[in-house]
Chain A
């Protein structure tokens, strides 16, 4: 990591002059964000399984232990409930922990500490006790990891007041939102995606600045459109953009909204878009029942945007089953680009 950084630094001037954009993959964006925040604030530290000497199960924390040592990058035993509780207690006492779950599936072992000890404490103490903690890790489906390792937790954590829940899509999101999350004085659930770790994206000079943060709670319109709004988060944002490219050839212009934050939900941005286009399809990897899409549709029903709908709002989601293993089954368990295109055409009555 250090060598990549120095490579980037050395070549910055040349690149700047020739306006070449840097390509950084999501993993490196997360890594750089943590590195910069560790450097900026002594109270920030990282704990989790294999985060230190192994460089991270998914290499997201590569190089950090070498740079910061045992005190700030801590390998834990395989005891989620215990180390999540320890992380929350450290936050109570003034530190700013980053608690990594190797995947969010394992957070279920520790969910009581996330909800009852972290999320609710500021409220129960009437503002006396803050909990400046970030819980992060890969969320949702991966490739061939089967049912127990593929669940999306956006809806579960998004349900709870007191938490902020963030779901980045690309490197800009990953970098800006993780820095914002670490600087936030509240408990943040940071949902990454393993399939996105290796995907490179352009990062501008402004985005590479060490104080670049993206506000939590603000969605981004990734693509302007006029006929229909596609609202999504995490990896599915990419699918929406791919679907939009295909649909554009048939004259359908999709507006793609990247939620970036699950909680607090940026209803204003979604409403403004729906009031412009008159049609809505939500896209998510998680299960349909009581999910993120369900919440968005309910909010649209209850708000001013309902009167602008030309057709009922519809959700594209993961299939309502535990994730199977065989490739053909797995491929048919998650929303595909063709599902998004199909749904858009149905909604637009094409």
Chain B
């Protein structure tokens, strides 16, 4: 029988479980004596927070799908639905004063790193109130301690190591999480980065989000070794279930402790899955079966998994979660409304932001007579 949260009536929560202990399924270790703890405590507060955030990402991505099909979003659009537990779990294991960088499947991270749905959606629709004022688009969103959103596969990994170098140089105990996919995992520059991060003991957590497919190429067809958590060779690694937000959180906390204790880099592989194709131009069913997608949805959906856990442990009621769903839907609707009505960036802004801290200068337009101005 669904538990009724009577706090609405009396302003007091009566006998709802405030925490629960969960045992993650499986953690594979590489060059590590021990891994993250095998039990994880979830508080009601955290559970509701993770649920809300994952649901927000899910609904935001589905709305983006809709807007893309209506041609209101154009160009590249790489959706994150299915992988929500990664972004939310990682953020649960670090703080906002830590740093994070990822590749182009970045909308979820832009949110967990402090962006709002409104400014993310307005960036996707290319409007002036977008998080990058319409100048960046889907793949180039930035916020404090979040360095994008990067379009060139693999380039973000050395960038992340550079951020980590700065953390160490400046004597903070901050670290940098540097994400890449199974497709990017074969990039030479990533191995160059493993080497330097190890040599210099940089506080970096390398995270491979293995969603089984690099665009249309399955991991078996792209990688001689699909054990991505071992690919760092001399770098200790662990592989966890990326569909389970608690597994991701515990692994991240463990990895963060490793970095902050001055031991240098560590590598995490998150086994996850994307429901959409590689991007909106990819239906996603030519290289995998609909049955496979459906199976993951029914057995491993990250949001359902968390929901079931909370319900079966009396940490929340069905109504309460539904309430969150409704609030999230409304937030997304409002954001979408905003994103479709906010005006496009002014043409005066075309040439701005070429150089920082520079006085205004002339920029050549499409013809020699078109003289435009660049402001910092």
Contact = CB atoms under 8 A, between A and B. Distances in A.
Given A82-B161, A126-B136, A185-B355, 5 more contacts: A85-B157, A117-B152, A125-B353, A126-B133, A126-B352
Contacts of B169: 45, 71, 90, 95
Contacts of B170: 94-95
A86 B151 CA distance: 17
A103 interface: no
Interface stretch (B187-195, B238-246, B283-291): B187-195
Interface string A82-103: 1111111111111101000000
B358 interface: yes
A86 B162 contact: yes
A141 interface: no
Interface of B: 99, 101, 132-136, 140, 142-143, 147-148, 150-152, 155, 157-167, 169-170, 176, 188-189, 192-193, 195-196, 199-200, 352-358, 361, 363, 368, 376
Q: How many interface residues does chain A have, given as a range?
A: 35 or more
A321 to B, nearest CB: 31
A128 B164 CA distance: 19
11 contacts: A71-B169, A81-B192, A88-B162, A89-B161, A89-B176, A113-B155, A117-B152, A122-B354, A122-B355, A126-B133, A185-B356
A50 to B, nearest CB: 15
A127 interface: yes
A140 interface: no
Interface of A: 45, 71, 74, 76-77, 79, 81-95, 97, 112-113, 116-117, 121-130, 132, 161-162, 164, 185-186, 264, 302-303
A345 to B, nearest CB: 31
Contact of B166 (A84, A89, A116, A185): A89
A84 B161 CA distance: 11
A125 B135 contact: yes
Contacts of A124: 132, 135-136, 140, 148
A83 B150 CA distance: 17
Given A85-B159, A93-B162, A126 B132 contact: yes
Contacts of B188: 81
Nearest to A82: B192
B135 A92 contact: no
Given A85-B161, A117-B159, A127-B376, A93 B355 contact: no
